[in-house]
Structure 1
Amino acid sequence: MPLRVPKRFTRLYITALSLVAFLTILGQILIQTTLEDELHDPWLVNYAGRQRFHSQLIAKTALLLTQRPDLTNKEIQLQELKRVLADWEDHQNQLRTGDLRDIKAKSVNSDTIQSMFEDIDPHFQVIAKNTHSVLKWIEKADTSQKIDKDLKNIFAHELTFLQKMNRIVFQYDKEAKEKVTKLRGIELGLMALTLFILLMEGLFIFRHAVQKLRETLIQLIEAREKTYKANQELQTAYQQLRLAQSQLLETTQLRHHQELKEHKIHASALLQGQEEERRRLSKEMHDGVGQMLTGLKLMTENFANTKSWTDYDRQNALNLRQLVGQTIQEVRSISNNLMPTVLNDFGIKSALKQLVDSTARNCAAHLTFASNLNDERFDQRIEIGLYRIAQEAIHNAVKHADASEISLGILQKNAEISLTIKDNGKGFRLNKKKFTPTSPSHGLHNIQERAHLLDGTLKINSAIGRGTEIAVQIPNDTKLTR
């Protein structure tokens, strides 16, 4: 039976994992926020320290420019003082307001630091104001006692500015360390809480899960053994079934081959009997009826020469002679269709050539014949089969397809004989699945049956309005005779 996991266990497991995930995310948010704030602390400490250095540089440069007018690089010193002064004022403003434009960030000063900036601001303003005054007098080249007064004011407040700025630097550093200590405490607290939750999960959830898993594994192993035994039994039964199926299939195939062989023998015997009967009828019509009709024709010729007959009787005799001649030709045509003597005497090429010529004389279609044979002779069964196929195909093209162009070709290549009949008639729709035409004619069935009895292949290509092409390939294993 399948094990059902208790809903309570599932809820506890989801709750525990959710709590761990929440604490992890919360810790990351706190840490990332604190780190984001602490990223500004090094800049604050650094630039607060630089403010001390810049204040000293401002006082020293101002003194140098006023006390040593013979300096060769006075203009450079003057430009440097302007630059340092502007930078000093800008960074003092950034540090005091928290608008750190250099690093595109915002910082909130603590109340302590904010009060320190308010305390140092008067000294900063005095130094900045007097330095601008010194610059103005230097640019005017005025060496009056006003410059000395401005210098005294600068140096009077510069030491105090340094001391108070030192306190600001130390306060920045102290607050940065306090943030790191606070962050460490938060991280340790979150880690302890996470470990506690994991411990509770192990005691109240995972221990039961391991027990259930152990029981499930035992049941799975038992089920696997049962399945393995059942599979072995099924394999044995399947092998027996396959063996029986193979034997049945082999028996069925043998029976099918036997039936096909018997059908082929029966059809071959039937066709052979038909050909023998045709040969007999052809011989009887040629030797019997043909001879009698020839004699009758001679008699009518004698009657027509009688001088005592009237013109009316003589005309009837002439009509009778003509009718007897047409009857003789029809009997010869029927006898030749039943079994052409040229096929027995000269072979398949001559017989097919005669078939094309006689058909061309009796219909309006234009027939052509092509062959690469000379005087080769094949097995009588092959020659008769190929002749009957060509005869049936040409008959269908003339009678049913209303073709105006018919071509017949017989070619020999290696050990195969290829017979092709092509016309430009009406064509028909071919059923590709059963390989039978949808037209009511049975001629193609006879062609297919004869090709099968000769162990050949039959291909029919036809479409309505595009004519028909019949191609038969017969294997020829007999030796050729010259």
Structure 2
Amino acid sequence: MPLRVPKRFTRLYIMALSLVAFLTILGQLLVQNSLEGSLHDSWLVNYAGRQRFQSQLIAKCALLLTQRPDLADKATHVTELKKVLRDWEDHHDQLKTGNLRDIKATSVNSDTVRAMFEDIDVHFQAIARSTHAVIGWLEQPVREGTVDVHLKNIFAHELVFLRKMDRIVFQYDQEAKAKVTTLRRIELWLMAFTLCVLLVEGLFIFRPAVVKLSETLHQLIEAREKTHQANQELQKAYQELRATQAKLLEVTQHRHRQELKEQKIHTSALLQGQEEERRRLSKELHDGVGQMLTGLKLMAESFSNGTGWSEKDRQQAINLRQLVGQTIQEVRGISNNLMPTVLNDFGVKLALKQLVDSTVRNTGAPLVFESNLNDERFDPRIEIGLYRIAQEAIHNAVKHAQATTIAVRIFRQEKDIVLKITDNGKGFRINKKTQSTLVPTHGLTNLQERTRLLDGKIKIHSTVGQGTEIIVNIPQHN
């Protein structure tokens, strides 16, 4: 049913508009036809009136040319008379037959007009014949006879021609007015019919449509108000949902931060315990095992300097002394790796320099160390963390990267301490979005974890065959 109403109104609108359009087009056709007919009628009236004037002009010219032998420029007047006669005859034929050649149109004369032209034709022919005779007499080199008879004939028929031509002009005018009156009456009927059609359309089409549109508009307004109310309720529910979501997110983030904090504390405590254990082992190796090995070395030296030893025994004593010395150096190296005393005594700069020097001395690796620090000290956690990061990075470059050049740099950059380790080794593929290697490496994970515990940032740039660069930024506040 809701679809039938618009279709019905659509059909009614189409019918109503089509009828109005038909009446409008019909009225335009009638008007255009009437205008075209009026143009023809005006031409007919105009040239019918000119016929009277031209007939008078023909009579006067004929009289003037025949009665004034001393007339100057007589040939020109004869030419003009011939032209006027030719136009007078041509227009008479156009008016009589209705073939309006001058305006390329046709006109149908009424029975009355045709009868009038038949009645006037005898006078027209008489005037035309006499005028041609006068022109012929004027054009003779030696004039013979007289033209008085032709002049009398022209003037005898001219007055009758004028009166009857007046009646034809009057008839043309009357018929034109009758056409205009008829057209006006038709247009009035068309206008009245159009107004009636519009009235019927207004009563049976537009008025019901307005009522229906009004009802639909009220329904739309009510629906909009209900939609607005529902939208407000949805907006309120959405705001409550957003608030709940925000609280849930805040709680989740707080819990996540708490877990990260606990994990960080746990990891930090674990690393701190490892460092304490390394410090204890380093001290025990240095103070305990180192002292005993030193005593053993002294005993080996006293044995090697004793008398009464065979050459073989003396050589064995010397080998024992050298072995003990090497063992002492190895123990010192292990103790220094576990916890270098220079780190506790002089800070991270000298500790890293000693690490580079000992690596070069023990492995022969080509290491370079640079720093702009002025032997300044930092928090022990930062110093130990930077040292371990550098130690792990150098170990990876020497052992796995097969680098020919390794550069270690530590410097201050605004409020950060920056540690940069660069090598030209084999390199590896890395995920630029997550800063994680495509092949799991325990060493790089340790670097990232230690950097995170120091609230720092680490960037790893590596390309296969072009080396690796590790940049660690640690915030430091004095």
TM-score normalised per structure 2? 0.68
Amino acid in the other structure paired with 1:29: I
Q: How big is the shift at 1:267?
A: 1.6
SS for the counterpart of 1:378 is coil
Q: How big is the shift at 1:413?
A: 2.7
Which of 19, 36, 39 is residue 23 of structure 1 equivalent to?
19
The equivalent residue for 1:275 is: 275
The equivalent residue for 2:190 is: 186
Structure number with greater Rg is 2
* Residues 206 and 440 of structure 1: CA distance in aligned 2, closer, same or farther (over 3 Å): closer
* Residues 175 and 320 of structure 1: CA distance in aligned 2, closer, same or farther (over 3 Å): farther
SS for the counterpart of 1:345 is helix
Q: How big is the shift at 1:108?
A: 6.6
Distance 2:441 2:314 in 1: 47
Q: How big is the shift at 1:452?
A: 1.7
The equivalent residue for 2:390 is: 390
* Residues 196 and 345 of structure 1: CA distance in aligned 2, closer, same or farther (over 3 Å): same
Distance 1:147 1:402 in 2: 144
Aligned partners of 1:460 and 1:469 also within 8 Å = yes
Aligned partners of 1:402 and 1:425 also within 8 Å = yes
Amino acid in the other structure paired with 2:442: H
**Stretch deviating more after TM superposition (169-178 or 157-166):** 157-166
The equivalent residue for 1:472 is: 472
SS for the counterpart of 2:411 is strand
**Stretch deviating more after TM superposition (251-260 or 316-325):** 316-325
The equivalent residue for 2:310 is: 308
Distance 2:213 2:344 in 1: 96
Aligned partners of 1:462 and 1:468 also within 8 Å = yes
CA-to-aligned-CA distance 1:428-461 (integer Å, 9 cap, x gap): 3334565432222122222222222212222333
Distance 1:17 1:272 in 2: 92
Aligned residues: 451
Distance 2:476 2:364 in 1: 35
Aligned partners of 2:455 and 2:474 also within 8 Å = yes
SS for the counterpart of 2:288 is helix
Distance 2:147 2:341 in 1: 148
Distance 1:373 1:129 in 2: 139
Amino acid in the other structure paired with 2:203: L
Aligned partners of 2:367 and 2:406 also within 8 Å = yes
CA-to-aligned-CA distance 1:341-378 (integer Å, 9 cap, x gap): 22222222222233333334455654333333222211
SS for the counterpart of 1:417 is strand
Distance 1:11 1:297 in 2: 117
The equivalent residue for 2:204 is: 200
Distance 1:361 1:126 in 2: 151
* Residues 350 and 30 of structure 1: CA distance in aligned 2, closer, same or farther (over 3 Å): farther
* Residues 309 and 18 of structure 1: CA distance in aligned 2, closer, same or farther (over 3 Å): same
* Residues 370 and 174 of structure 1: CA distance in aligned 2, closer, same or farther (over 3 Å): farther
Q: How big is the shift at 1:304?
A: 6.6
Aligned partners of 1:44 and 1:172 also within 8 Å = no
* Residues 59 and 337 of structure 1: CA distance in aligned 2, closer, same or farther (over 3 Å): farther
Aligned partners of 2:456 and 2:475 also within 8 Å = yes
- Following superposition of structure 1 onto structure 2, how do residues 35-50 of structure 1 map, counting pairs within 5 Å? 37=33, 40=36, 44=40
Which of 6, 12, 25 is residue 8 of structure 2 equivalent to?
12
Percent sequence identity over aligned pairs: 45
SS for the counterpart of 1:377 is coil
Q: How big is the shift at 1:30?
A: 2.9
- Following superposition of structure 1 onto structure 2, how do residues 78-477 of structure 1 map, counting pairs within 5 Å? 96=99, 109=107, 112=110, 175=179, 178-179=182-183, 181-201=185-205, 205-206=208-209, 209=212, 213=216, 224=226, 228=229, 247-296=247-296, 308-310=310-312, 314=315, 323-363=323-363, 366-431=366-431, 434-477=434-477
Aligned partners of 1:41 and 1:176 also within 8 Å = no
CA RMSD of superposed structures (Å): 5.7
Distance 1:187 1:15 in 2: 24
CA-to-aligned-CA distance 1:28-48 (integer Å, 9 cap, x gap): 433454455566567656766
Unaligned runs of at least 5 residues, structure 1: 102-106
Amino acid in the other structure paired with 2:205: E
The equivalent residue for 1:104 is: none
Aligned partners of 2:49 and 2:169 also within 8 Å = no
Q: How big is the shift at 1:240?
A: 6.4
Amino acid in the other structure paired with 2:287: D
SS for the counterpart of 1:393 is helix
Distance 2:368 2:131 in 1: 122
SS for the counterpart of 1:13 is helix
